[in-house]
Structure 1
Amino acid sequence: MQTNDTDLLFQTNSDLEFSSARQKKLKAAEKLGNPFRISSKVLDLVIEGDEAWVAESGWQIRRVDLNSFTTKKLYKGHSGPVTSVVLYDTPGGLRVLSGSWDKTIRIWDIKTAQVLHILKGHTDFVKSLLILPLPRPLLLSTSSDRSLRLWDLSPLQENNPPICIQTIREHTRPVESSTYRIFTDESGQRTEVYIWTSDSLGVMKEWELKDDQLVFRRDIKGHETSVGFILATEDGLWSASMDKSIMFHPHPPSAPLKPISILHTGYVKSLLPLPASSTSPSLLLTAGDDEDLHVFPLDDVLEGQTPKPILVPGHCAEVSVLRLWRKEGKAVILSGSLDGTIRNWSIPELLNPAPLVYEEEKETVELTEDEQRELAELMDE
């Protein structure tokens, strides 16, 4: 007979101490970041307007109204955790695309939550999805089967299933993440499209899109182990790794600037650079298995400095995703976690975070045998 009841299992003193500390933190953090609680772990999140679509470990996608933080619809049909979610617009309406441990990519009708198409081809977990909004729209999927697949999305305009037009097996380990950037000339015309992919060995590969095919350019070195998240910006390529570091590789590839690295105390799972606005400075946010959000001055990081971060507590498990939500023109940061919550933070809350406030433990006084006997005599009288 098996049980999950910890009271019936053998636990060491360290187990008991960790469990006690966890319960205290859960209590202290229960209101920080105005948490929206869901039924499973948050693995990915995409925002469109004032709504979010959440990829959950509980085999579903959740559509959330961000103004009220209420669930509007659930998209059920996967037979494993949903690792990634993206949106794609068609004449028939917005479509939700999701990748899962069940090795499939599913395309959903946003209004009815019905599955329109199931894309098969990967032989292991689908780890990430990336839409390339080019004249011919493409979908890039990455997988634990060590492959990349490029799908032509144009058939979706007629409500037909996308077609796989390229399969690449250059990585030697599961491919964890992908990102892209479109380079333009002074007139704004597209000149090049670069794509980057990363794997669980720490290898990042750079590709160029030519005639709707990915052409390998180079390997980007720097991390010692799994790179779970990468993001391309106008300035360069950001990466977050399980080697407890983030890195920044400046654009273009021939730039004389050296890569920048910042060490953390734990695995880094996500990052988010925020440009300066009229109400806030430029910031860099990172998060991972130490459960805190780390807030750095972005300009200092890009200048090669290693500033001490502001630590923002709140989550009680690994922080898996960071996203920017523009609420009425103001920046709001959403953080999703394996603790089953999505928390939202204003910039002032990140720069001046509220501390964890633990309840004071009440002291208990144990009576000696003589005191217990005297008390019993008094009670009898």
Structure 2
Amino acid sequence: MQTTVVNRRPVLVMAAPGMLRVWDLRRRRPVHGMRLACDVDGRTLAVASVRGRPVAAAGDDQGALHVWDLRSGTPLRKLLTGHEGPVTALVTASMDGRPVALSGGQDGTVRLWDLADARKPGGPLIGHKGTVTALATARVDGRAAIVSGGWDGTVRLWDPRSGRQLGTPLMTASGSLWGITTVSAAGQPLAFTGAHGPAGLELWDLATREPRHPAPARRDPVLSLATARVNGDAIVVGFNRSRRSPGFGSRDAATGEPVQGFAVDQWPGGIRAVATGTVEGRAVAVTGDAEGSVSIWGTDPDKPPLGPLAGHVGRVWAVAVGEVGGRELAASAGDDGTVRLWDLQDGRAWGQPMTGHTGPVTAVQLGHADGRTVVASGGEDGTLRLWNPETSEAHRRPLMGHVGRVWAVAVGEVGGREVAASAGDDGTVRLWDLQDGRAWGQPMTGHTGPVTAVQLGHAGGRTVVASGGEDGTLRLWNPETGQAIGPPAALPWPIDTLAWTSADQIVAASGSEAVALAITD
């Protein structure tokens, strides 16, 4: 919501589904409502003055900018288009005496619009690796600057005239940014940034590009979790992004206390993914790291792991385990756009790399279709792909529906059918029938940011889909109807990964902690 003045009256402008409303704050009654042909997000609503007329601007989920005359309640001009995907941030300002709007999108770009004549003064400002979530303006070194922040954890300064980036990005301590406010104090341009993360609020000197106050010591977030049964006990094993230590390690699923599960003391840092399985009745863990290596670990601290197994170029984003042709295998997915299989007994590569994704592969699982094992993978190209592990060939055409990266994949059975669940940058969870490759029902919507974790499991005697995202919520869904089950559970930080420990308990990695949640009716 925003406040402004219309006909000398203070008003409140609010965005609602299919409607823009203007309220008279003195009389506490609506002035008028504008019906919209699309939904706009209240977080991308801003007000300005164009040639003396008060206007409201808002971005929609199709990448367009709408501008309305607040006096008459009518559109001021045609749609302003350019973003590829939803508009996720919007502010208005005056530059060189002209009213402008700054928009940021899920496509990672920042765009500048002249509201007086609907021109785009230049091309998109490109630099963020992911969604742009916050925008502001400031005067730095005597000239106007655009300040932007995003889910990549960076703050970037731009010259609005040339479109060039000013200096190197500021790296925040908290990760994904959600807000930026700029002020001038004693002639110095400052920026407050707000984020999900241990540091939370940070203060920056934009002239020196340095933090005004040191950020709190950062604890690396837990990025990977898996569950296993070792010596009859249920354990959770997880790792953070640190290259110096494993961080989380093995914990008792019931108490959360550290335990001697896998050979924890030998784990290297930089692990991005972990999965567990069994070989001849013995528990093993498979890890993928930032250096592109896969390793297979047992529970005997005196026995070295199998690996590092080389093959990927760039980081390994995801690993999974399953059985193919009577052999226990691990699947790995990496930055190089390939999916690879490894024999859990001897660590040898199994078959040829599976290629087809047009960018990094960020999710992988093994499931069943047509009575045989299939590998399901999701990637930055927004597709879910099924592979025949026996031949390394595509099992069928790519499954398309997500807009943006697929962050997570899970497989399981719903209503007697083998299905895959996928979670993506577009904030949706989708189900796919592995038998025919068709979408199963409607997308599950509710998250307000990328969905980064998904699992299929059982709770209360029924199959459920669990999802977690950048918005810090854990949500349960009925896969038969696509409807949410109960209210979401709100955690303090974004959720990176999920793992079931039992039929009615799930563990979520949120920030630097792993939180066990009991699922009740």
- Place the TM-score, normalised by the shorter chain, in its bin: 0.5 to 0.7
Q: Which residue of 1 aligns with 2:475?
A: 343
Q: Which residue of 2 aligns with 1:311?
A: 443
TM-superposed CA distance for 1:266, in Å, is 1.8
Q: CA RMSD in A?
A: 3.7
* Kept after mapping to 2: 8 A contact 1:312/1:350: yes
Q: Which residue of 2 aligns with 1:24?
A: none
The 1:322/1:222 distance shift into structure 2, 3 A limit, reads same
Q: Which residue of 1 aligns with 2:206?
A: none
Gaps of 5+ in 1: 1-6, 21-39, 43-55, 60-77, 185-190, 355-381
TM-superposed CA distance for 1:243, in Å, is 0.8
Give the structure-2-normalised TM-score: 0.46
| Residue 288 of structure 1 pairs with residue 431 of structure 2 | no
* Kept after mapping to 2: 8 A contact 1:274/1:284: yes
* Kept after mapping to 1: 8 A contact 2:475/2:484: no
Q: Which residue of 2 aligns with 1:233?
A: 367
The 1:198/1:98 distance shift into structure 2, 3 A limit, reads same
CA distance in 2, matches of 1:170, 1:194: 15
| Residue 331 of structure 1 pairs with residue 474 of structure 2 | no
- Of 406, 412, 424, which residue of structure 2 is paired with 1:268? 406
Greater RCO structure (CA 8 Å; 6+ sep): 1
CA distance in 2, matches of 1:140, 1:329: 30
SS state at 2:312 partner: coil
CA distances 1:140-181 after superposition (whole Å, capped 9, x unpaired): 11101211122122x3xxxx6874343222211101111222
Letter of the structure 2 residue corresponding to residue 198 of structure 1: A
Q: Which residue of 1 aligns with 2:274?
A: 129
Query: How many aligned positions are there?
Result: 276
CA distance in 1, matches of 2:175, 2:475: 13
SS state at 2:436 partner: helix
TM-superposed CA distance for 1:232, in Å, is 0.8
TM-superposed CA distance for 1:247, in Å, is 0.5
CA distance in 2, matches of 1:352, 1:93: 32
| Richer in strand (by share) | 2
CA distance in 2, matches of 1:237, 1:316: 29
Q: Which residue of 1 aligns with 2:241?
A: 101
TM-superposed CA distance for 1:249, in Å, is 1.0
SS state at 1:119 partner: helix
| Residue 252 of structure 1 pairs with residue 393 of structure 2 | no
Query: What percent of counterpart residues are identical?
Result: 17
The 1:111/1:348 distance shift into structure 2, 3 A limit, reads closer
Q: Which residue of 1 aligns with 2:331?
A: 196
The 1:109/1:312 distance shift into structure 2, 3 A limit, reads closer
CA distances 1:111-136 after superposition (whole Å, capped 9, x unpaired): 5433346434535x211111121223
The 1:19/1:107 distance shift into structure 2, 3 A limit, reads closer
TM-superposed CA distance for 1:311, in Å, is 2.5
How is 1:110-121 mapped onto 2 (pairs within 5 angstroms)?
110-116=253-259, 118-121=264-267
CA distance in 1, matches of 2:228, 2:284: 10
Give the structure-1-normalised TM-score: 0.62
Q: Which residue of 1 aligns with 2:297?
A: 151
SS state at 2:456 partner: strand
SS state at 2:482 partner: helix
* Kept after mapping to 1: 8 A contact 2:421/2:456: no
- Of 86, 100, 106, which residue of structure 1 is paired with 2:226? 86
* Kept after mapping to 2: 8 A contact 1:249/1:260: no
CA distance in 2, matches of 1:282, 1:182: 16
SS state at 1:312 partner: strand
Letter of the structure 1 residue corresponding to residue 274 of structure 2: L
* Kept after mapping to 2: 8 A contact 1:291/1:318: yes
| Residue 320 of structure 1 pairs with residue 452 of structure 2 | yes
The 1:196/1:347 distance shift into structure 2, 3 A limit, reads closer
